[in-house]
Amino acid sequence: MSNSTQRDTLLRYSAPVRTNHWLVAIAFVLAALSGLALFHPALFFLSNLFGGGPWTRILHPFIGLFMVLVFLALSARVWDDNRMAPADWQWLRQWRDAVNNREERLPEVGRYNGGQKFLFFVLVVCLLGLFVTGFPMWRAYFTLPVGLVRLSSVLHAIGALVLVCAILVHIYAGFWVRGSVHAMLRGTVTPGWAWKHHRAWFRQITHASHPRTGSD
């Protein structure tokens, strides 16, 4: 951890990863608010945040495209650390222990736990789906058969629903596991945090014999 300035903290997210994450986060919030405005009449008022209905319609696809692009960059950075291993499936099977703060019963966790990895792949699938189904709905630039547009519209709504729910879980988990938000904002965690939540990762980065991972 030679690039960590404080002696007693560990670097969990480097500045490029943090920047990338928050670009995705900002794009997501804007895409979700503009998309929800067009999804349900009760939320149409959200279009005021974007300068009215037509501006919401104009901006939403560009925000969405931007989100997909920055998410692509982020997923390239974290892909290798999110491969599912048998211990991750075991972790997921013990989700009750996880949500009830009985972490000591769970298998040792590397850089990401089973839940985080699962969420990551849900996000990958949702964003790919939203990306593909968004184009037929983008009437300003694309004119495709109406059957395809209708199918895309339904799938786009379902993909967005799953994505919004997944991100709500993600945001709450960040708040729930104290120290996570700070880790993503300022980059560092305490040794105790790493020891408790990501012990295999802790060993990996602090033990001399282990190589460092890609998303450091």
Partner 1 sequence: MPLQSLDIIRRSATTTPEPEVRGAYAGTVAKLIDTTKCIGCKACQVACMEWNDLRDDVGTNFGSYQNPADLSDRTWTLMRFTEYENPKGDLEWLIRKDGCMHCADPGCLKACPSPGAIVQYSNGIVDFQEENCIGCGYCVSGCPFDIPRISKRDKKAYKCTLCSDRVAVGMEPACIKACPTGALVFGTKQEMKEHAAERIEDLKSRGFDNAGLYDPPGVGGTHVMYVLHHADQPALYAGLAPDPHISLLVRLWKGKTKPLSLALIALTALTGFFHFVRVGRNEVDESDEQAARANLEANRRPELRP
Give how many residues touch partner 1 by CB under 8 A: 58
- The dihedral region occupied by 101, where left means phi > 0, alpha psi between -120 and 50, and beta the remainder, is left
| Site membership for partner 1, residue 3 (CB under 8 A) | no
Q: Which residues contact 137 (CB under 8 A, 6 or more apart)?
A: 61, 149, 152, 153, 156
Any catalytic annotation for residue 170?
A: yes
Distance in angstroms (rounded) separating the CA atoms of residues 109 and 11: 17
Active-site position among 60, 170, 197, 198: 170
> Which CB atom, from 42 or from 86, has the smaller least distance to partner 1?
42
Kindly tell me which residue out of 165, 181, 185, 214 binds partner 1, with binding defined by CB under 8 A: 165
Name which of residues 24 to 83 contact partner 1 (CB under 8 A): 37-44, 47, 52-54, 56-57
Measure the CA dihedral 102/196/179/30, to 10°: -70
Q: 176-184 — which CB contacts under 8 Å span 24+ positions?
A: 183/12, 183/13, 184/13, 184/18, 184/21, 184/22
Whether residue 194 contacts residue 10, with contact meaning beta carbons closer than 8 Å, is answered with: yes
> Which CB atom, from 86 or from 207, has the smaller least distance to partner 1?
207
How many Cα atoms within 13 Å fall on the side-chain side of residue 194? 21
Name which of residues 183 to 212 contact partner 1 (CB under 8 A): 190-197, 202-203, 206-208
Residue with tokens 């939203």: 130
Q: What is the largest CA-CA distance in the chain?
A: 61
Q: Identify any residues that bridge with 10 across adjacent strands, giving them in sequence order.
A: 189
> Residue 79 CB, nearest distance to partner 1 (Å)?
26
> Which CB atom, from 40 or from 93, has the smaller least distance to partner 1?
40
Whether residue 113 contacts residue 142, with contact meaning beta carbons closer than 8 Å, is answered with: no
| Site membership for partner 1, residue 150 (CB under 8 A) | yes
> Residue 106 CB, nearest distance to partner 1 (Å)?
12
Q: Of 18-26, 82-90, 94-102, 106-114, which segment contacts partner 1 by CB under 8 A? A: 94-102
Which are the catalytic amino acids?
A: 170
- Which positions touch partner 1 (CB under 8 A)? 1-2, 7, 37-44, 47, 52-54, 56-57, 99-101, 103, 137, 139-140, 146-147, 149-151, 153-154, 157-158, 161, 164-165, 168-169, 171-172, 175-179, 190-197, 202-203, 206-208
